[in-house]
Amino acid sequence: MPVNIKSGESEEQFISRCIGEEVSAGKEQDVAAAICYSYWRKDKMSKIKDTTSKVMAKVAYDTDFRGIKLQDDGLEGACWEGYEPVGLKPMGDRMVPNCVPIEEGK
């Protein structure tokens, strides 16, 4: 279950709290750190309005977290806000969540 960022929480505060929660849930320290940094980056990316900047941030995110399994339980939390996972799709040499826009009235 993703750890939510609290209003006004700094990156350092969030990462520290998040790692503690993830380690308490049974994750190794390095895995917990990767998960928490991915949560922070996804949250920041979700607030980008400029399309070019959003694409560049997504490319950087995918590069930085390539090959790291960030989710343990299905596809929950795999997509950006406003999108939902519908199965998997191939991306290069790996399978990734197929994120599609959430339909209104669903």
Domain-wise residue ranges, the chain: 1-70, 75-106
Mean pLDDT of 61-74: 67
If you count them, how many residues does the chain have? 106
Q: What is the pLDDT of residues 21-44, one digit of tens each?
A: 989 988 888 888 888 998 999 899
Which pLDDT value is given to residue 8? 93
Instruction: pLDDT band for 81, please (50, 70, 90 cuts).
Output: confident
Which pLDDT value is given to residue 21? 92
Average pLDDT, the chain: 82
Query: How many CA atoms lie less than 13 Å away from 61 in the CB half-sphere?
Result: 22
Helices 29-46/51-64 angle, 10° precision: 170
